């Protein structure tokens, strides 16, 4: 019986949702599959802040539009990749995870890369035995670039035998914070349709995984050539266009003090531990982060915003809320017919 472990980081909840779909499909096949939120494995803010690796868009924003007086000692990704060493606090994971046949690592795609907290975690892992197979999975808004190539390189660096990658584009959860209205019902229906398609892709991927372990011939082609060609101009737009929007129109940290109830939810939810209290006990962030949107989406009063584009706009409630809205509407329609 195949034993699988999946470790993921999720910002808006979409990657968590994808991981649950993969787990369900694996368990249908009789696999033992354990899902672990990365924050259940390690204290993320402490781990990340010890060696704070950041992606280029964060470093550029910090240099051009600093939020505080003192620069945060961010380490570039290229520098971090050339200074890899095992974190003694994670050494026990090698023995703890040795009974798994397959380990998956998942993250949202940020600038064609995993979340910086996931990168820090993977870089700090001990080197595993090459017989331990690993795969990567990701969620994105339509462009993942060379995410898979990066994950293959990184996981091989940590001793894993890399066997493949699966990804899916669900809904544009990041754009909710710039919309005046966010239709839960419409988006929930779209998410349900996307989930159905995701299950079909997962089935194909698991057929390939099954063939690896049980010797059944199976040709796994992954992304087809047409999708790759169509994705090229979109990736170029994403790389330069979205990066420009982030750096010039979105980055920042603001607060409606009259709406803030000082509950500290944003502080508790920040996976990088960058939000703190000021002298009046209001939340403040002096540095640019990876912009996972969790602080905005979890704020119970919508007191937080990043820039004028996100002031008094909608927030992303999470996939469970959206699916519940779609399901309830379906139930109401049936009741009306009856």
Q: Six-digit token pair at 63?
A: 């240099």
Q: Where in the chain is the domain with CATH 3.40.50.360?
A: 3-244
Q: Mean pLDDT over all residues of the chain?
A: 89
- What distance in Å separates the CA atoms of residue 177 and residue 299, rounded to the nearest whole number? 12
Q: What pLDDT sits at residue 239?
A: 56
Q: Per residue of the chain (338 residues), what is the pLDDT tens digit?
A: 899 999 999 999 999 999 999 999 999 999 999 999 999 999 999 999 999 999 988 998 888 889 988 888 899 999 999 988 899 999 999 999 999 999 999 999 998 899 999 999 999 999 998 789 999 999 998 778 889 999 999 999 999 999 999 999 999 888 899 998 899 999 999 999 999 999 999 999 999 998 888 766 555 555 555 545 545 565 566 556 666 776 667 889 999 999 999 999 999 999 999 999 999 999 999 999 999 999 999 999 999 999 888 999 999 999 999 999 998 867 666 666 66
CATH topology classification for 3-244? Rossmann fold (3.40.50)
Where exactly does CATH 3.30.70.20 map onto the chain? 252-320
pTM exceeding the 0.85 threshold for the entire prediction:
yes
252-320 under CATH 3.30.70.20, yes or no: yes
pLDDT digit string (tens) for 167-179?
999 998 888 999 9
Long-range CB pairs of 67-73, under 8 A, 24+ apart, other chains included: 67/252, 67/253, 67/285, 67/286, 67/287, 67/288, 68/286, 68/287, 69/286, 70/286, 72/287, 72/288
Give Cα separations from 250 to 35, 86, 116, 293 (angstroms): 33, 35, 19, 11
Residues of 223-258 as b/e, b for ≥16 C-beta within 10 angstroms? eeeeeeeebeeebeebeeebbeebbeebbbbebeee
Sign, Cα dihedral of 306, 310, 315, 319: negative
Residue 120 and residue 48 in contact, taking contact as beta carbons nearer than 8 Å: yes
Round to whole Å and give the CA distance between 124 and 318. Answer: 30
- Do residues 135 and 102 lie in contact, with contact meaning Cβ atoms separated by under 8 Å? yes
């Amino acid at each position: 019986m195949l034993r699988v472990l999946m470790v993921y980081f999720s910002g808006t909840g979409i990657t968590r949702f994808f991981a649950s779909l993969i787990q369900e499909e694996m368990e249908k096949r009789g696999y033992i599959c354990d899902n672990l939120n990365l924050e259940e494995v390690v204290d993320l803010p402490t781990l990340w802040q010890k060696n704070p690796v950041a992606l280029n868009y964060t470093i550029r924003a910090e240099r051009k539009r600093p939020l505080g007086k003192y620069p945060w000692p961010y380490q570039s990704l290229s520098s971090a990749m050339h200074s890899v060493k095992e974190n003694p606090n994670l050494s026990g994971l090698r023995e703890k995870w040795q009974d798994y046949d397959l380990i998956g690592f998942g993250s949202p795609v940020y600038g064609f890369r995993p979340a910086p907290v996931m990168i820090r975690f993977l870089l700090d892992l001990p080197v595993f035995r090459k017989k331990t197979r690993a795969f990567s999975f990701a969620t994105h808004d339509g462009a993942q670039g060379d995410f898979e190539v990066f994950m293959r390189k990184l996981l091989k660096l940590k001793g894993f035998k890399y066997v493949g990658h699966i990804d899916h584009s669900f809904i544009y959860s990041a754009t909710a914070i710039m919309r005046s209205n966010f239709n839960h019902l419409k988006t929930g229906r779209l998410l349900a349709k996307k989930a159905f398609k995701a299950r079909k892709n997962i089935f194909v991927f698991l057929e390939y995984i099954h063939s690896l372990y049980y010797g059944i011939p199976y040709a796994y082609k992954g992304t087809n050539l047409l999708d790759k060609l169509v994705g090229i101009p979109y990736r170029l737009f994403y790389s330069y266009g979205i990066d420009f929007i982030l750096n010039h129109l979105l980055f920042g940290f603001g607060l409606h003090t009259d709406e803030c109830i000082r509950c500290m939810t944003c502080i508790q939810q920040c996976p990088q531990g960058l939000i703190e209290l000021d002298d009046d006990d209001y939340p403040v962030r002096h540095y640019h982060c990876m912009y996972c949107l969790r602080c905005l989406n979890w704020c119970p009063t919508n007191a937080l915003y990043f820039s004028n584009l996100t002031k008094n706009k909608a927030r992303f409630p999470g996939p469970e809320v959206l699916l519940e809205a779609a399901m309830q509407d379906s139930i109401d329609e049936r009741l009306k017919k009856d």
